[in-house]
């Protein structure tokens, strides 16, 4: 088993070693560790709903009514009544006929892609798509044509030049998780319609973030009924856990009977589904939450630019602060932690070598004065490490 030690020595030498760090969440924007409280700028809890009173109470009540576990897979004993409510409301929110909940967003992507595509098919995939999309493509055993990130000319060339005896599928993240940019879904749909291709969009970082009231990428571009498959998560803006797929009733019935990650997994607990349902209802009742998130994200971007830091254009709450080498990103996060701020260093293999960064994420629940103070500390630390 020497290969285990060899691998760990290698990642440690390259400043790429990872390990879980135990924090105690004390709210949507703060955590505590060893008696000290930190400002959290690393969470995907975009709307701050994990600690919303109605969401927490819904989880408690679900445990009282239904117990702590599902007791089985969805197709055996695991579909308690809350699943039906959540799936109906997800479909309404996404403006589709039906929806289906998976245990995680990762399992949704792996299950849906491998169910829809096979060896005779071609999948056209953005080069910066999430690992779960990449793994879903591999499991499908389809031919995969990777197009340069958001490059519609390259996608068009591949659609024209790639022979296909089966189905064509175009897959993209809606909001890309490392850079925070938005896929040109309107152009993708136009190309797909020209080549009779199925469009799959993963709205993990778009649901609750962009579109009217946070409805996602298809809504953001006004593409109602033109995107066949919308995948999302319950674990980010909706403050719970799980993933989902939304589309036609026929699509959902097909996925129920075909997706292995759905068929063979014990269902999520009632408390988790109840929390997601309450969070979705909170967002539906308060669509301005997505606007509050946008305002905080715009504020931080503007402040970072004024401080002299190079920041990508965008409107989403994912704001990368580029560091280059992994060692520099690690040093910067360590220094900021000393100053009471938690921001994650993103390193290879998550991003290519030389593009390590601090992945700063903003929520609708963040206080402006704390954000301003954090930007000042980030800019000061970055200048000390010659990032600017």
Identify the active-site residue in 30, 94, 205, 347. 205
What are the pLDDT tens digits along the chain (388 aa)?
A: 999 999 999 989 988 888 888 999 999 999 999 999 999 999 999 999 999 999 999 999 999 999 999 999 999 998 999 999 999 999 999 999 999 999 999 999 999 999 999 999 999 999 999 999 999 999 999 999 999 999 999 999 999 999 999 999 999 999 999 999 999 999 999 999 999 999 999 999 999 999 999 999 999 999 999 999 999 999 999 999 999 999 999 999 999 999 999 999 999 999 999 999 999 999 999 999 999 999 999 999 999 999 988 888 899 999 999 888 888 888 999 999 999 999 989 888 888 899 888 999 999 999 999 999 999 999 998 888 765 4
Known active-site residue 114? no
Q: Return the domain boundaries, the chain.
A: 53-285, 287-384
Question: Residue 386: what pLDDT?
Answer: 66
Domain 53-285: which CATH class? alpha beta
Known active-site residue 80? no
Question: Residue 388: what pLDDT?
Answer: 46
Three-class SS state of 76: coil
Three-class SS state of 345: strand
DSSP alpha helix (H) spans, the chain: 2-13, 53-66, 81-94, 105-116, 131-140, 152-161, 185-194, 217-220, 249-258, 260-263, 270-285, 288-306, 326-338, 368-384
Contact partners, residue 5, CB within 8 Å, separation at least 6: none
Q: What is the CATH number of domain 287-384?
A: 3.90.1150.10
What secondary structure letter does DSSP report for 175?
Answer: B
Six-digit token pair at 321?
Answer: 């602060």
Question: Residue 37: what pLDDT?
Answer: 97
CA 324 → CA 302, 341, 349, 354, 379, distances in Å? 22, 20, 13, 5, 16
Known active-site residue 265? no
> At which residue do the structure tokens 């349902």 appear?
277
Identify the active-site residue in 236, 261, 265, 356. 236
Question: Residue 387: what pLDDT?
Answer: 53
Identify the active-site residue in 43, 114, 177, 265. 177
d(CA 387, CA 33): 28
d(CA 60, CA 4): 42
Q: Give the CA count within 13 Å in the CB-facing half-sphere of 360.
A: 27
């Amino acid at each position: 088993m020497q290969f285990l030690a060899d691998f760990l020595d290698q990642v440690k030498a390259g400043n790429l070693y990872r390990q879980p760090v135990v924090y105690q969440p004390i709210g949507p924007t703060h955590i505590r560790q060893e008696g000290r409280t930190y400002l959290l700028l690393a969470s995907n809890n975009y709307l701050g709903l994990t600690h919303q009173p109605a969401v927490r109470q819904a989880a408690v009540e679900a445990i009282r009514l239904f117990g702590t576990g599902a007791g089985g897979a969805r197709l055996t004993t695991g579909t308690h009544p809350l699943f039906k409510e959540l799936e109906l409301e997800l479909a309404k929110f996404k403006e589709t006929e039906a929806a289906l909940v998976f245990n995680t967003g990762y399992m949704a992507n792996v299950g849906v892609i491998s169910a829809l595509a096979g060896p005779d098919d071609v999948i056209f995939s953005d080069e910066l798509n999430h690992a779960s999309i990449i793994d879903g493509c591999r499991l499908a055993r389809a031919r995969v044509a990777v197009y340069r990130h958001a490059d519609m000319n390259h996608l068009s060339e591949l659609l024209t030049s790639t022979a296909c005896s089966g189905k064509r599928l175009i897959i993209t993240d809606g909001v890309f998780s490392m850079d925070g940019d938005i896929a040109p879904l309107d152009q993708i749909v136009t190309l797909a319609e020209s080549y009779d291709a199925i469009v799959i969009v993963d709205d993990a970082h778009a649901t609750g973030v962009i579109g009217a009231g946070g409805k996602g990428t298809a809504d953001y571009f006004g593409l109602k009924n033109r995107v066949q498959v919308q995948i999302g998560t319950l674990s980010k803006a909706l403050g719970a856990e799980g993933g989902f797929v939304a589309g036609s009733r026929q699509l959902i019935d097909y996925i129920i009977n075909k997706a292995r990650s759905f068929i063979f997994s014990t269902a999520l607990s009632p408390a988790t589904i109840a929390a997601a349902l309450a969070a979705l209802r909170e967002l539906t009742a308060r669509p301005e939450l997505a606007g509050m998130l946008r305002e905080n994200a715009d504020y931080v971007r503007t402040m970072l630019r004024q401080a002299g830091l190079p920041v990508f254009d965008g409107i989403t709450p994912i704001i990368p602060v580029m560091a280059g080498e992994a060692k520099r990103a690690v040093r910067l996060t360590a220094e900021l932690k000393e100053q009471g701020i938690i921001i994650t260093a993103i390193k290879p293999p998550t991003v290519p070598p030389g593009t390590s960064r601090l992945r700063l994420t903003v929520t609708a629940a963040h206080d402006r004065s704390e954000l301003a103070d954090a930007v000042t500390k980030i800019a000061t630390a970055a200048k000390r490490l010659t990032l600017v």
